[in-house]
């Protein structure tokens, strides 16, 4: 199991490395096929946010799943515990889903492990790069898979962060599953049913929503093709 610990705007101590190595045994117990764990510690520089001064992000590759969790607290150790609780819950859900899949109750295509692994390595390299210069040129810059860039808007404190992900088209059900694994309230994907850029999002309780984006020109072409097909039939 490969464990990578990095710090953003902070130095990660040897003691924290040792704590991570010990606590990650809990992950391996739930997911014996885990191959990589990425731990990122971020320090919040604003003194008024002392209660969330440290944020810990956990990203793991277990079998064919990429699972993510994060939490903030007064120090990196308590933030690690909170993030680990979230992560283990999602890992248990993944394990149960795999059991159901083997029983033939579900048939959910899994993401490509090799592609996700390469993506995570690219993200790790990008996270260690310095902040990009200001300006529209940086916002328009073509990104490589996994690359991220941060651009400050003029003299304001507003920072825009861009990142490019490569992913295979999936169904709405797959997108909801991936959203639950990474712990977000939304998930951007390409709908395999129609090729449209789509977003699933959490509404309330067990209710979800789906946005699909297309252009008027594409819709017009699709309707014309449907009419032609109907006439031939």
What average pLDDT is seen over the chain? 79
Neighbouring residues of 15: CB distance < 8 A, sequence distance ≥ 6: none
Instruction: Write down the pLDDT at residue 38.
Output: 92
pTM above 0.85, yes or no: no
Q: Per residue in 6-60, pLDDT tens?
A: 998 889 999 999 999 999 988 888 888 888 899 999 987 766 666 778 999 999 8
Rounded Cα distance, 106 and 200, in Å: 20
pLDDT in tens, 176-225: 888 888 778 889 999 999 888 999 998 877 788 999 998 888 888 888 88
Per DSSP, 112 falls in state -
pLDDT tens-digit series, residues 65-109 = 788 889 999 999 999 999 999 888 888 877 776 665 555 544 444
**What is the predicted pLDDT for the residue at 122?**
52
Reply yes or no on whether the pLDDT at 136 is more than 70.
no
To the question of domain 1-107 being in CATH 3.30.160.100, the answer is yes
pLDDT (0 to 100) of residue 129: 46
Q: What is the DSSP string of 42-54?
A: EE---GGGGGG-E
Output the pLDDT for position 41.
94
* Residue 113 confidence class, pLDDT cut points 50, 70, 90: very low
CATH no., domain 167-233:
3.30.505.50
Domain-by-domain residue ranges, the chain? 1-107, 167-233
Task: Give the dihedral of Cα atoms 122, 127, 131, 133; nearest 10 deg.
Answer: 20
CA 113 from centroid of its chain's CA atoms: 14
Residue 57, CA distances (Å) to 8, 27, 136, 202 in order: 11, 14, 30, 21
């Amino acid at each position: 199991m490969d464990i990578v610990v990095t710090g953003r705007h902070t130095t990660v101590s040897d003691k924290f490395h040792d704590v991570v190595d010990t606590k990650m045994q809990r992950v391996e117990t739930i997911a014996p096929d885990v191959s990589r764990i990425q731990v990122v510690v971020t320090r919040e520089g604003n003194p008024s946010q002392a209660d969330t001064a440290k944020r810990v992000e956990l990203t793991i590759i277990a079998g064919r799943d990429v699972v993510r969790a994060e939490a903030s607290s007064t120090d990196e150790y308590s933030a690690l515990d909170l993030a680990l609780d979230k992560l283990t819950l999602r890992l248990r859900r993944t394990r149960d889903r795999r059991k159901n899949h083997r029983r033939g109750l579900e048939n959910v295509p899994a993401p490509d492990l090799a592609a996700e692994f390469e993506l995570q390595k690219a993200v790790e390299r990008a996270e260690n790069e310095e902040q990009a210069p200001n300006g529209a040129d940086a916002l328009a810059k073509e990104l490589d898979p996994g690359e991220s860039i941060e651009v400050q808007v003029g003299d304001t404190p507003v920072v825009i962060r861009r990142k490019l992900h490569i992913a295979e088209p999936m169904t709405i059900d797959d997108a909801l599953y991936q959203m639950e694994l990474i712990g977000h309230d939304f998930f951007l994907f390409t709908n395999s049913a129609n090729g449209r850029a789509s977003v699933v999002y959490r509404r309330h309780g067990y209710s979800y929503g789906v946005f699909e984006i297309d252009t008027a020109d594409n819709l017009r072409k699709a309707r014309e093709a449907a009419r032609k097909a109907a006439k031939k039939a």
